[in-house]
Amino acid sequence: MSLLTPEERLAHLDLDELRQLVGLVEYDDTADPFPVTGWDSVVWAVGNAAQTAHFFRHAFGMELVAYSGPESGNRDHAAYVLVSGAVRFVIKGGVQPDSDIAAHHARHGDGVIDVALEVPDVDRCLAHARAAGARILEEAHDLVDEHGTVRLAAIGAYGETRHTLVDRSRYDGPYLPGYVPRTDQRPRRLFQALDHVVGNVELGRMDEWVEFYHRVMGFTNLAEFIGDDIATEYSALMSKVVANGNHRVKFPLNEPAVGKRKSQIDEYLEFYQGPGVQHLALATNDILRTVDALRAAGIEFLATPDSYYSDPDLRARIGEVRVPIEELQSRGILVDRDEDGYLLQIFTKPLGDRPTVFFEFIERHGSLGFGKGNFKALFEAIEREQERRGNI
């Protein structure tokens, strides 16, 4: 079959199209004590920021737009700001041996340290968070340069994960004061938006963190997966999804459940040395082209057995989708349908040496779900990888 051209599929999306892409709704934030309007950035701590930035640029098609490091007066760490559509990654690596970034990496390996959120009023959000008992990591403050002013604060979440609250409405620089602009080759945009961010927490603590997002940030429950929904013959987990008022920011939270063998959550907690971000779901409007480009760049995905696609129940359940099942099968892409529409999704193998953080790529066609019908096939694929690593 012929695919649409990159220009047709990867043209810049306007705000309404981005909302449609990730299943968003409008809401009135005036009555919300902690209004969150969207994602600001995902900040990583890695062992070598220069090499990781190169990897994300050349394998995942991201564009380098800003830099901070010794050359710009930052003696502690180097940081590279990368974008793809509405997604912004900030890749940090310690320069000094006593850098907090280096210490974090030594304990946890490559991973996400900060899921920064865009808010219209930092002080209002921080005051509500403080009254609700949140850990305040940074008081509200301004960063200023010739491009304007950014107001920031930060609160603690599960493990060492933090949420920086960002109001950049009075700023037109490339990222933050202290960063210098960097130009890059024309990017190959392979994803356009951040769909959701999944956190893994310890056994018995999922409800505690769900309640944290309710109490501190005013998020509401979007979905819940327990029991047979989210188990295989050997391992199980439990998951609840919380979302902000406009559903633009979604946090599934997982905890392990008792099973015959070690679950994927147990493995993550062991190798990450505690709770943290397990995976980032990146929205694309052409998952076939995205997967083809990523595979050509050497990215490995979890394998889906042919039996998944030959199952008559699958074909009866999903109905008509935009591409033939054979095209999905050749790439290992999963498909699921709910009352609102369908989605296509695929998961990479872990991105680093430790079996911790990975990416999901998702193409939504009306569906607001998370691929519930694919959980069993996905977890069995993860178990096969765990067995290869000797961690099950």
List the single range of 4-8, 262-266, 332-336 with lowest mean pLDDT. 4-8
Question: pLDDT grade, residue 382 (50/70/90)?
Answer: low
Contact 82, 49 (CB under 8 A): no
For residue 253, give both structure tokens.
């939270």
Class of domain 34-181: alpha beta
Contact 336, 372 (CB under 8 A): yes
Asked whether the domain spanning 193-389 has the same topology as the one spanning 34-181, the reply is: yes
What are 335's strand-pairing partners?
A: 344
Tell me how far apart the alpha carbons of residues 58 and 81 are, in angstroms, rounded to a whole number. Answer: 14
Question: CA distances (Å), 147 to each of 21, 29, 89, 179, in order?
Answer: 31, 27, 20, 11
> pLDDT tens for residues 182-199?
988 777 899 999 999 999
What sign for the dihedral angle of Cα 213, 215, 219, 225? positive
Tell me how far apart the alpha carbons of residues 381 and 347 are, in angstroms, rounded to a whole number. Answer: 10
Contact 221, 207 (CB under 8 A): no
pLDDT at 316: 86
Question: pLDDT grade, residue 117 (50/70/90)?
Answer: very high
Domain ranges for the chain, please list them: 34-181, 193-389
Q: Are strands 136-145 and 111-118 parallel, antiparallel or unpaired?
A: unpaired
pLDDT at 254: 92
Q: For the chain, what percent of residues have pLDDT higher than 70?
A: 86
Tell me how far apart the alpha carbons of residues 182 and 80 are, in angstroms, rounded to a whole number. Answer: 9
CATH number 2.102.10.10 is the correct assignment for the domain at 193-389: no
**Nearest CA among 152, 273, 158 for reference residue 210:** 158
**Nearest CA among 255, 266, 265, 286 for reference residue 365:** 286
List the single range of 217-231, 235-249, 295-309, 359-373 with lowest mean pLDDT. 217-231
**Nearest CA among 285, 105, 271, 92 for reference residue 195:** 285
> pLDDT tens for residues 2-35?
344 444 444 444 444 444 444 444 555 667 889 9
Residue 366 makes CB contacts below 8 A (sequence gap 6+) with 23, 340, 341, 342
**Nearest CA among 21, 145, 133 for reference residue 87:** 21
**Nearest CA among 268, 271, 273, 242 for reference residue 255:** 268
Question: pLDDT grade, residue 287 (50/70/90)?
Answer: very high
pLDDT at 231: 59
Contact 172, 147 (CB under 8 A): yes
pLDDT at 378: 61
pLDDT at 11: 44
For residue 73, give both structure tokens.
């007066």
- Which of the listed ranges 136-145, 177-186, 253-262, 297-306 does the model predict with the highest average pLDDT? 136-145
Tell me the mean pLDDT in the region 60-68. Answer: 96
pLDDT of 299 over the 70 cut: yes
